[in-house]
Amino acid sequence: MANPPTGDPELPKSRRRTQSGEFFRPGAGPPAKIQLEQTGPANFKMLCQLGYQDSHFSEPFVVAPDIETFRTDLTSVPSLFQWLVPSIGVHLSAALIHDGLIYAPNEGKTYIGPDVSREQADRVFRDGMRDLGTPLIRRWVIWTAVTVATVLSSPKHKVRWRATVFLTIGIVIALGVMATLNLFNVWHGVPWMGRRSAIAQIGLGALFALIIPIVLSNLWGHLRRAGLILGWALAFLIHVTIAVAIVFGIYLLLESVASLFDHRGPSIKRNLGVVDKEDAYAP
């Protein structure tokens, strides 16, 4: 991404009419209108700026100072998890604001507004999703995902945070696998399940799936809510995720086989008008 012009341009006076928790189009006021132009398979250009008035700051945030150079991939969600969190939806405006608030040190500021840390940007994202009406569980799951990315990318206490994240994930997944094996009588190694009836095992398994992430979340300090949600999400969605991964893997395999017979598949770059020189004469 190219660096935006230095210095923050003066904000339109009409923006002062916006209220806390409101998204708006600079120069036009609320309601906000999102206009995007696809410039690549996963890259989009904003055709107008987007603003948001966060309740914790007196000045609003506007993305981006230079819409000609700013690019977004919308909501960054792996294909495997888009059944739970789609790339577009009611949360999209908040995702675009968050995209602008997160930038690499060598990029330069990609938004207009007060300086914020990456952790603050994640909180702005969460509150923005709330103001847009994003369902409660979905917005907290999304916030947890970006918070995990934040702590893993932070140079401060890097070893501690990596250990905390991977320890949480490792313990919850390991206990989930053990509990599943116990339930199907493959191995009776989970003390609270043992050789009890199937109903008792399911009930006790669910109870400890709630308790263990609560205990592990204390390792996360002031971000314990993120640790708690991560643990609960892993504990209760691991089986669904595995099932989806199997089905998705089968689909990808079938798609790969089918593509061998599809000699006239479209070129995404060519259809979007962004053909590179080296692709110009590709079949």
Question: What pLDDT is stored for residue 274 in this prediction?
Answer: 53
Separation between Cα atoms, residue 23 and residue 130, nearest integer Å: 12
Whether residues 125 and 100 share a domain: the answer is yes
Whether residues 66 and 98 share a domain: the answer is yes
Question: What pLDDT is stored for residue 17 in this prediction?
Answer: 53
Q: Indicate whether 24 belongs to any domain.
A: yes
Q: Nearest to residue 125, comparing CAs of 54, 77, 214, 193?
A: 54
Residue with tokens 């259809």, as numbered in its chain: 271
Whether residues 140 and 20 share a domain: the answer is yes
Q: Is residue 275's pLDDT more than 60?
A: no
DSSP 85: S
Which domain, by its residues, includes 128? 14-153
Task: Provide the phi-psi class of 31: left if phi over 0, else alpha when psi is between -120 and 50, else beta.
Answer: beta
Instruction: Look at residues 119, 153, 187 and tell me which one is the last residue of a structural domain.
Output: 153
Residue 236: burial class (beta carbons within 10 Å; 0-12, 13-18, 19+): middle
Q: Indicate whether 277 belongs to any domain.
A: no
Whether residues 147 and 67 share a domain: the answer is yes
Whether residues 56 and 164 share a domain: the answer is no
The residue-averaged pLDDT of 18-29 equals 83
* Alpha-helix residue ranges (DSSP H) falling in the chain: 92-101, 118-132, 136-153, 158-183, 198-216, 224-259, 268-271
Q: Is residue 281's pLDDT more than 50?
A: no
Q: Is residue 182's pLDDT more than 70?
A: yes
Whether residues 244 and 210 share a domain: the answer is yes
The residue-averaged pLDDT of 256-279 equals 64
Q: Indicate whether 272 belongs to any domain.
A: no
Domain tally, the chain: 2
Q: Is residue 78's pLDDT more than 80?
A: no
Q: Is residue 73's pLDDT more than 80?
A: yes
The residue-averaged pLDDT of 141-168 equals 93
In tens, the pLDDT along 200-217 reads 999 999 999 999 999 999
Percent of the chain with pLDDT over 90: 61
Question: What pLDDT is stored for residue 271 in this prediction?
Answer: 61
Whether residues 103 and 231 share a domain: the answer is no
Question: What pLDDT is stored for residue 258 in this prediction?
Answer: 86
Whether residues 147 and 180 share a domain: the answer is no
Q: Indicate whether 6 belongs to any domain.
A: no
Whether residues 137 and 170 share a domain: the answer is no
Of 80 and 6, the one with more pLDDT: 80
Mean pLDDT of the chain: 85
Whether residues 83 and 149 share a domain: the answer is yes
The residue-averaged pLDDT of 28-41 equals 81
The residue-averaged pLDDT of 244-271 equals 78
Q: Is residue 276's pLDDT more than 90?
A: no
In tens, the pLDDT along 89-109 reads 999 999 999 999 998 878 889
The residue-averaged pLDDT of 240-244 equals 86
